[in-house]
Amino acid sequence: MHDVTDLTLTSKSPQRLTTDVLVVGVAEESGKPVIEAAASFSRATRAAIERAITLLGVTGRAGEVTKIPAGAELKAELLVLTGTGAPAPSAHVGRERLRRAAGSALAALSGPARVSLALPIGDAADLQAVAEGALLGSYRAVPAQDAQAAAEEIEILTTAAGTSGKAGRAALDRARTVAEAVHGTRDLVNLSPNVLYPESFAARARDLVKGTKVKVSVLEEKALAEGGYGGLIGVGQGSARGPRLVRLEYRPPRARRHIALVGKGITFDSGGLSLKPAAGMEKMKNDMAGAAAVLHTVVAAARLGLPVAVTGWLALAENMPSGSAQRPSDVITIRGGTTVEVLNTDAEGRLVMADALVAATEEKPDTVIDIATLTGAQMVALGNQVSAVMGTDDVRELVVEAAGQAGEQFWPMPLPDELRASMNTPMADIANMGERYGGMLVAGLFLREFVGDTPWAHLDIAGPAFNDSTPRHYVPKGGTGVGVRTLLELLAAAGA
Ligand code: BES
Ligand code: MN
Ligand code: ZN
């Protein structure tokens, strides 16, 4: 974990700051690079930076990071120019640009003691975004041999109204809590599946809630069988490591609303007897990213003291082929009595999620939101950077709105009734597979069968949960922690 980075505020002019690295935002206005905080630099410094911008062809485009020696005029060793892009069409897009500009700069540095950030901060929300981006970009995966050390201290320059004193410190505290939740989620996703399996995941959940107001209880295999959790039992029975259902509870006084969060926690998805191809199977250690996001969201909600009741459900199982594994054509019974014909053991996520959704809705929350690396079809539809949200119209729209505010990309997708018939089977109430085209929507329709009339949204993060490719702005390689910021924003909005 790398959450030791100190966060501080200063209202000093960048010209006079003693620091290792001074990060200065460069915007792209009408195609021209414009230096942030230009007025606070001396004429000589400004001229030197402008000269560097010209010689190096700096544009100010989002994602562009340029490192140059700071020169004798500044009390910094290194000057980093980070692109903030063209003027944003809205406040929340602007905040995401700040998050990314800060993240890009911090991700590009190796072991500085102090990094000072001069970015265009207009209010406390901007300040929080800069701090979040800087911390998220400071994440270094553990254990990573090639990791460059993160900054020890991040100092943020701001003179904007509402960003000094208590209000400023509160914004930094919120940013730290959010970033720690994202980092914790990334860490869990990055763990190897021989280390992270249902039992050890549940043990980590118990450890994590210590010292918070979150209560945790764990249903083990025997209790799951007795409780009729046929989805978790069916999926988990092929593994030597049995399934678990973890329940987390955060109940602040005077909460007016209760939200249940349900996360898919397949600690490894081999496909089961419907075995996946060898190429790429190693990526299926990320199939618990939804459960990791739920765990860290509930803990962060408690740390933030959000005035909303939250119950978190982690549906944990390992999907393995073996002599005891479930077979294609098995008929299982989900909690609550719905029978399912398992046509493909690789469509396991919806089986464990069905059990957990039933358990969650039994408690009559106002809203239930599930998050899962559920379908390859999500990636076909939306790629690796945009997640999907389906569900009842009202909650789906709330998720889209919260994601926008939080700077995550969630796109609304339909649940066409016409596709439901493709899961009809004479053997059971429903099959776990249907029409191939629109596979993400089919999976969403399957889950809908288990939420009754509870207002609900389903988040499919199959692609965005894991970054296979090179790092980008504040997103490292590996686990991304996607969903945490959106869920926290949603909980904050529900408490407001
Ligand atoms: N965990 C996978 C979905 C997935 C694929 C997540 C790629 C991340 C990256 C899920 O359990 C799965 O295997 N789904 C199948 C369903 C199919 C058999 C109906 C799929 O999408 O192919
Ligand atoms: Mn699968
Ligand atoms: Zn899966």
Give the per-residue pLDDT at 2: 47
Amino acid 143: pLDDT: 54
Same domain, 156 and 201: no
Retrieve residue 150's tokens: 């993160």
Q: Are residues 153 and 191 in the same domain?
A: no
What stretches in the chain show pLDDT beneath 50? 1-2
Query: Does residue 177 lie in a domain region?
Result: no
Question: Amino acid identity, residue 303?
Answer: R
For residue 4, what pLDDT is reported? 64
Q: Are residues 140 and 226 in the same domain?
A: no
Beta strands in 140-243 (DSSP E): 153-157, 214-219
| pLDDT at site 136 | 98
For the chain, the residue count is 496
Where helices occur in 36-108 by DSSP H, the ranges are 43-56, 91-107
> What pLDDT score was predicted for residue 1?
44
Closest approach atom of ligand 1 to CA 287:
1
Around ligand 1, the residues with Cβ closer than 6 Å are 269, 287, 344, 346-349, 373-377, 433, 439, 462
Helix (H) or strand (E) holding 258: strand 258-269
199 and 84 in one domain? no
Q: What is the CATH number of the domain that holds 67?
A: 3.40.220.10
Domain that holds residue 330: 186-495
Q: Are residues 486 and 409 in the same domain?
A: yes
Cis ω before 143 (30° cut-off from 0): yes
Pairing of strands 478-479, 466-467: antiparallel
Ligand 1 centre and the CA of 376: distance in Å?
5
pLDDT at res. 148: 80
CB of 160 within 8 A of CB of 150? no
Q: Are 57 and 68 in contact (CB under 8 A)?
A: no
Q: What is the pLDDT of residue 5?
A: 86
Alpha-carbon distance of 62 to 84, in angstroms, equals 5
Give the burial class of 496: count Cβ atoms within 10 A of its Cβ; 0-12 exposed, 13-18 middle, 19 or more buried.
exposed
Ligand nearest to the CA of 272: 2
State how far the alpha carbon of 352 is from the alpha carbons of 320, 373, 433, in Å: 14, 12, 14
User: What distance in angstroms lies between residue 319's CA and the mean position of ligand 2's atoms?
Assistant: 8
Domain count, the chain: 2
Does any domain span residue 137?
yes
| Residue 202 to residue 237: CA distance in whole angstroms | 18
Instruction: Give domain status of residue 171, yes or no.
Output: no
Whether residues 130 and 191 fall in one domain: no
Look at residues 162, 196, 216 and tell me which one is the last residue of a structural domain.
162
In terms of domains, do 82 and 203 share one?
no
Alpha carbon nearest to ligand 1 atom 13, residue: 346
Q: Is residue 445 in some structural domain?
A: yes
Indicate which atom in ligand 1 lies nearest the CA of residue 465: 8
Question: Which residue from 276, 284, 320, 375 has its CB within 8 A of the most atoms of ligand 1, so it is best to mutate?
Answer: 375
The reply to whether 154 and 190 lie within a common domain is no
Co-location of 366 and 291 in the same domain: yes
Q: Is residue 323 part of a domain?
A: yes
Please, which residues bridge with residue 155 across strands? 8, 116
Quote the ligand 1 centre to 440 CA distance (angstroms): 9
Distance 269 CA to ligand 3 centre (A): 5
Contact 442, 423 (CB under 8 A): yes
Same domain, 113 and 228: no
Residues belonging to the active site: 276, 350
Residues 229 and 333 in one domain: yes
> Does residue 437 belong to any structural domain of this protein?
yes
Mutation to probe ligand 1, out of 340, 343, 346 (largest number of atoms < 8 A from CB): 346
Alpha helices of 73-158 — where are they, by DSSP H? 91-107, 124-137
The answer to whether position 368 is within a domain reads yes
Question: Same domain, yes or no, for 431 and 290?
Answer: yes
pTM score, two decimals? 0.97
